[in-house]
Amino acid sequence: MKIVTRRQFLGRTLAAGSAVTLPWLIPARVLGREGAVAPSERIVLGGIGLGPRGQYDLSVMLPQKDLQFVAICDVQRSRREKVKQMADAHYSNRDCVMYQDFFELLARADIDAVLIATGDHWHALASLLAAKAGKDVYSEKPCGMTISEIQSLADGIHRYARVFQAGTQRRSVPNFQYAVHLAHSGMLGRLHTVHASVYVPSKNYAWLPGEPEPPDGECDWDRWLGPAPWRPYNSRYVSGGWRGHHDFEAGGNFLDWGAHTVDLCQWANQADDTAPLEYEATETSIIGRYANGVQLVCDFLPTAFGNRDPQYHTSTGTCPVRFEGDEGWVETGDNGQLVFSENLAKRLTNQFAVTGLSSAGHGRNFFDCVKSRAKPVCNQDIMRRSHLVCFAAQLSWQLGRKLTFDPVKEEFVGDEEANRMRRRATREPWSFNI
C-alpha cells in the first residue's frame, strides 16, 4: 500500500506526454503487422523446450495477431503441460498439441517456424535439425556450446535457406539501439572502448550425485542430454540446475550475459563481420583488441543485481554496456535508463527513458522476416561473430594466456590447445553432420 505522490503522478504523465520521434530506429512495425502479406497468412509456430525463459518468450509472442502457436515439444511432462495451458488459455481452445519427441513436431508440414528455448547444450543441434526440416528458427542464446557448433549452425541455416533469429533481443530494444546510434553517429567522437558486463566465468566439470531416472513420460533424460556427453541423472539439472555446469552451459556461463553484451559491443563498433584479434584476461576482465584499435572490455560483475561501482552505474539494471569515445560515453542496461557523460548529455536534445528487456520487438522482427525472407537483426551471421568473440575471450581466460584470433579463418594463431578447444565430440547418435 503506497499513496502515489503528486510528483510521481506528474512524473508519469510527463513521460507519457513527451513521446519523441526516433527516426534512427530500426523499422518499428512492432505492434501488429503492417504491409507485407495478406492478413489471412498466419505464421504457424511450434515450441521446443520451453522452460521459464521460453515461456516468457512465448508470452510476448502470443499477442501477435498473425501468429498461431500450435504445438509444444518438451522432454518434461510438466513443462509441456504448462505451455499447452498457456497457449490454450490464450486462444480459448484445446488445440495445442504436446510432443515428447521433437522429430514428430518437426515433421508437421503446417509448422513454419519454431521457438527453441532448451538448455544451452541443445540450441545448436535443435536449430539445425529444425532448419533441415524446413522450419525457420528463433533460438534462445547462447546458440551453441562451442565455436564448432556455432559454425555448423550458421552454415546450416544458410545451407537450408532458413531465417534465423538469435534471442539476443537487446538489438530490438530502444535504449540499446539509441546507445549504439550514439556510437555510430559520431556523437561519442572516435570510439575507443566498448564495455560488456559478464558474469565471472567458472570451470565446473563435476557431476552431481546420480539419482534414479524418472519414469518415461515424466522426463526423458536421454533426450534431455541429447548431444551433451553422458552423465548420471540428477533432478537438479532438469529444473534449471544445469546452469554452472561446463558441459551444459556455454563458455562456463560467460555467454549467459556475454551473448548479449558482447553482441552489443560488436554492433556499436560496427564489427558485425569481424572480431577482436587479441584476447587477454585480467583479474577483473577480459580485454580484446579490434583491428580498428577499439578495445573490448568484458568486465566481470561479481553480482548481477547488486552494487557494481566503479565499473557500472547500478541504476542501469542487468546486462549493462558502456561505449566510450573521445568525446563522451553512454551506458545503458535492462532497466532502460541511459546514463551519459556530462559532455555528451549537454549535446543531446533527445534524452529519453524507455523500458528495456521486452523481447516482443525482437520476435516481431523475426516474424516479419519469416514473411519477407529478409535477414533478422540477429541473424546467423551476426550471431556467429558475437558468439565466436565470447568463446575466444572465455578461452583466453580459461587458458590463462593471451590468444590471437584470425576472424577470417576463425582459428587461433599459434595455439594448438586453444584450437583443439574449439569443439567437443557430440554424443552418439547425435551429430552435426546434417
Partner 1 sequence: MMRTRPVLWSLTATCLLTVAAVESTAADHPAEKTRELIAVIESDAPLFEKARACQQLGEFGTAEAVPALASLLADEHLNAYARSGLEGIPDPRAAEALRTATSSLQGNPLAGVINSLGLLRDEKAVGLLRDFANDPASGVAGEALLALGRIANDESIAVLRRTLTQDPEPNRADAAAGLLLAAGQRSAKGNPDNAAALYDIVRRADVPPGLRAAATRGAIVARKDNGVPLLIEQLHSPDRRFRNVALLTIRDIPGDPLARALNVEVRKVPPEMRVLLLTALIDCHNAQTPTVICDLTADEDAEVRKTALRVLGQIGGAGETGVLLEAVADNRRPEEAAVARESLQRMSGAAVEQKILWALATATDPDARVQFTRLLESRGVTNAVTELLRQAADPDVRVSVAASQALKSLAGREELPALIALVRTRQDESAREAAENAVAGVCRRTGNTALGSDRVQAELMQTTEPGLKNAWVRILVSLGDAGALPVVLAAAQDSDEGVAVHAIEQLARWPDAAPAEALAALVGTDSSPSVHRVALGSLMRLATTAAEEHQRPNDTLVSWFRTANQAAETEADRRLIISGLGRLTDIGSFRLLVPYLDEPGLRNEAAMAIVQIAPALAPDDPATLKEALDRIATTAGIEEIRAKAKEISATIPAPVKPTSLFDGRSLNGWEGNPDVWRVRDGVIVGGSIEGNPRNEFLTTTSRYTNFVLRLEYKLVGTEGFVNGGVQFHSKRVAQPANEMSGFQADIGAGYSGCLYDESRRNRFLAQAPAEQIQRLEKPGDWNRYEVRCAGSHIRILLNGEKTVDYLEPDPSIPLAGLIGLQIHGNCKAEISFRNLTLGPAPHGEARANVPGGAAAR
* 248 belongs to the binding site for partner 1 (CB under 8 A): no
49 conformational bin, left if phi > 0, alpha if psi -120 to 50, beta if neither: left
Among 104, 222, 273, 406, binds partner 1 (CB under 8 A): 222
Among 53, 82, 181, 231, binds partner 1 (CB under 8 A): 231
The total of other beta-carbon atoms located within 10 Å of residue 307's CB is 9
Q: How far is the CB of 200 from partner 1 (least distance, A)?
A: 16
* 206 belongs to the binding site for partner 1 (CB under 8 A): yes
Q: How far is the CB of 429 from partner 1 (least distance, A)?
A: 4
Among 314, 373, 406, 413, binds partner 1 (CB under 8 A): 373
Nearer to partner 1, 52 or 186 (CB): 186
Nearer to partner 1, 95 or 101 (CB): 101
Q: For partner 1, which stretch binds (CB under 8 A), given 130-138, 173-181, 335-343, 356-364? A: 130-138
* Cβ atoms 199, 257 nearer than 8 A: yes
Considering only residues 405 to 424 of the shown chain, the ones binding partner 1 according to CB under 8 A are: 416-417, 420-421, 423-424
* 433 belongs to the binding site for partner 1 (CB under 8 A): yes
Nearer to partner 1, 132 or 184 (CB): 132
Nearer to partner 1, 323 or 397 (CB): 397
Nearer to partner 1, 126 or 163 (CB): 163
* Cβ atoms 47, 114 nearer than 8 A: yes
Contacts with partner 1 by CB under 8 A: the residue count is 64
* 95 belongs to the binding site for partner 1 (CB under 8 A): no
Amino acid at 142: P
Cα(293)–Cα(271) distance, integer angstroms: 12
Considering only residues 25 to 54 of the shown chain, the ones binding partner 1 according to CB under 8 A are: 27, 34-38
Considering only residues 255 to 284 of the shown chain, the ones binding partner 1 according to CB under 8 A are: none
Nearer to partner 1, 329 or 366 (CB): 366
Nearest residue to 322 (alpha-carbon basis) of 271, 370, 269, 378: 269
* 291 belongs to the binding site for partner 1 (CB under 8 A): no
Among 11, 232, 241, 302, binds partner 1 (CB under 8 A): 232
Nearer to partner 1, 144 or 317 (CB): 144
Q: How far is the CB of 88 from partner 1 (least distance, A)?
A: 29
Among 70, 133, 265, 344, binds partner 1 (CB under 8 A): 133
* 110 belongs to the binding site for partner 1 (CB under 8 A): no
Among 31, 107, 161, 413, binds partner 1 (CB under 8 A): 161
Q: For partner 1, which stretch binds (CB under 8 A), given 176-184, 189-197, 237-245, 372-380? A: 372-380
Considering only residues 338 to 367 of the shown chain, the ones binding partner 1 according to CB under 8 A are: 349
Return the bridge partners of 113, or none: 45, 136
Cα(412)–Cα(38) distance, integer angstroms: 49
Cα(269)–Cα(119) distance, integer angstroms: 30
Cα(317)–Cα(354) distance, integer angstroms: 12
* 155 belongs to the binding site for partner 1 (CB under 8 A): yes
Instruction: Please enumerate, as own/partner, the contacts of 243-250 that have beta carbons within 8 Å and a separation of 24 or more.
Output: 244/202, 244/204, 245/204, 245/205, 245/206, 246/202, 246/203, 246/204, 246/205, 247/121, 247/205, 248/119, 248/120, 248/121, 249/119, 249/120, 249/121, 250/120, 250/142, 250/144, 250/145, 250/390, 250/391
Q: How far is the CB of 239 from partner 1 (least distance, A)?
A: 17
Q: For partner 1, which stretch binds (CB under 8 A), given 119-127, 158-166, 357-365, 382-390? A: 158-166
Site residues for partner 1 per CB under 8 A = 1, 3, 5-7, 21, 23, 27, 34-38, 132-134, 155, 158-161, 163, 203, 205-213, 222, 229-233, 349, 371-375, 398-401, 416-417, 420-421, 423-434
